[in-house]
């Protein structure tokens, strides 16, 4: 090995030793200034609502201001770029959706980050079911009727999403492949914006987190045709799950929509990660937070360790890499 190579190795070892030595000291002093949580969508979406709820209680738990900053656009790339450019000190975090953490990276080859190597894995926060919905004027009431309607009009229908590469986009790509239909993708910056396009009739189909779709369906502004959940949603008792809706194994396996998790820049001190994780777990276990998450946001709060979150991420990423062998999207 050359002297130059040895120098590089030595520098890496020294950096690692410094990080290990400084970690406990940083954690003891952490936090001593405001924490910023980045959101990759416009205000009003699932991750935005969850972040603002947690920020309210984290202020009390950490005795420090917690600021939510929206960086909408490019399927959360604006947020991830800002995160990666930030110091790995725990003061800039990103509450990301599953579309940017495992679904997009599993399918797409053009993303400028690797969720396993470019991020620090802090905490799993919530899992979320989704709802397929259509414009009420569309003459369909079930998934099977929609598939038949779309097959009779190949390429004539549109579907909306919260952005290219988002969970709502790629899940519908997966749905189209399983159903054997084609539609045109119309991306928006958030789930509420995507839903408005369906309400207006510009788009025929949408897939959104339950907290976005449920009030619209109950008000009659959209018609819910299926839920991507293991069991029927209490707030939509007459809407079948994808497993109940019939179809092939691929469609029946759509028993989840997305999840929300907290990450930071790579190389955050383990002690700082642990301190943030514990604070999020405490908030996520509060009865009032659990009730709010379930009843108002239609998501299930999750608590756990950074290691269990990384394990979940690895498994989901592997699943979507398999899907990516057959599902292709325009970059």
Torsion of CA 69, 72, 75, 78, to 10 degrees: -70
What pLDDT is stored for residue 26 in this prediction? 59
For residue 328, tell me if it sits in a domain: no
Nearby residues of 36 by Cβ (< 8 Å), 6 or more positions away:
66, 67, 68, 69, 91, 92, 93
pLDDT at 3: 47
Whether 281 and 304 map to the same domain: the answer is: yes
Predicted structure pTM score = 0.79
**199 in Cβ contact with 212 (< 8 Å):** no
Shared domain check, 267 and 238? no
Residues in the chain: 331
Q: Is 329 part of any domain?
A: no
- CB distance 257 to 128 below 8 Å: yes
pLDDT tens per residue, range 4-45: 444 444 444 444 454 555 555 556 789 999 999 999 988 988
Mean pLDDT of the region 193-198: 96
pLDDT in tens, 115-151: 999 999 999 999 999 999 999 999 999 999 999 999 9
- Per-residue pLDDT at 256: 77
What integer pLDDT is reported at residue 147 of this predicted model?
Answer: 96
Query: At how many degrees (to 10) do helices 287-297 and 46-62 cross?
Result: 170
Residue-level pLDDT at 175: 93
Total domain count for the chain? 2
Provide the percentage of residues in the chain whose pLDDT is more than 90: 66
Residues 145 and 228 in one domain: yes
Coil/strand/helix, residue 184:
strand
Final residue of a structural domain among 218, 237, 252: 252
State the Cα torsion 199-201-206-208 to the nearest 10°: -20
Statement to judge: residues 261 and 124 lie in one domain: yes
Domain that holds residue 47: 3-128+257-323
DSSP 108-175: -S--S--TTTSEEEEEEEEEE-EEEEE-TTSS--SHHHHHHHHHTSTTT-EEEESSTTSHHHHHHHHH
Residue 181 domain-assigned (yes or no): yes
Lowest-pLDDT range, 68-77, 248-257, 287-296? 248-257
293 and 228 together in one domain: no
Domain at 286, CATH number: 3.40.190.150
Reported as a pLDDT band with limits 50, 70 and 90, residue 209 is confident
Please give the Cα distance from 229 to 236 (Å, whole number): 12
pLDDT in tens, 50-76: 999 999 999 999 999 999 999 998 779
Instruction: Tell me if 291 is assigned to some domain.
Output: yes
SS3 23: helix
């Amino acid at each position: 090995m050359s002297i130059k190579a040895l120098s590089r190795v030595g520098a890496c070892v020294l950096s690692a030793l410094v990080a290990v030595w400084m970690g406990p000291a940083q954690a003891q002093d952490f936090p001593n200034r405001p924490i910023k949580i980045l959101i990759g969508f416009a205000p009003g979406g699932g991750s935005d609502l969850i972040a603002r709820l947690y920020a309210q209680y984290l202020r009390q738990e950490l005795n420090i201001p917690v600021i939510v900053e929206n960086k909408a656009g490019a399927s959360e790339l604006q947020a991830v770029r800002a995160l990666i450019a930030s110091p790995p000190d725990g003061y800039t975090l990103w509450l990301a959706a599953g579309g940017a953490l495992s679904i997009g990276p599993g399918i797409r080859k053009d993303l400028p980050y690797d969720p396993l190597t470019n991020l620090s894995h802090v905490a799993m926060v919530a899992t979320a079911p989704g709802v397929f919905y259509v414009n009420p004027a569309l003459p369909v009431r079930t998934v099977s009727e929609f598939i038949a309607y779309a097959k009779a009009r190949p390429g004539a229908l549109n579907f909306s999403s919260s952005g290219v590469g988002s969970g709502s986009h790629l899940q519908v790509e997966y749905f189209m492949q399983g159903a054997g239909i084609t539609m045109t993708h119309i991306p928006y910056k958030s789930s509420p914006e995507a839903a408005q396009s369906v309400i207006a009739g510009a788009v025929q189909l949408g897939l959104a987190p339950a907290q976005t779709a449920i009030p619209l369906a109950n008000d009659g502004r959209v018609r819910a045709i299926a839920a991507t959940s293991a069991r029927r949603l209490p707030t939509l008792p007459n809407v079948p799950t994808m497993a109940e809706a019939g179809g092939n194994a691929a469609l029946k396996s759509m028993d989840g929509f997305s999840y929300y998790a907290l990450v930071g820049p790579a190389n955050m001190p383990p002690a700082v990660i642990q301190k943030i994780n514990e604070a999020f777990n405490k908030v996520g276990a509060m009865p009032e937070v659990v009730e709010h998450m379930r009843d108002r946001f239609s998501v299930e709060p999750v608590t756990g360790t950074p290691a269990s979150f990384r394990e979940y991420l690895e498994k989901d990423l592997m699943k979507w890499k398999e899907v990516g062998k057959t599902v292709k999207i325009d970059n």
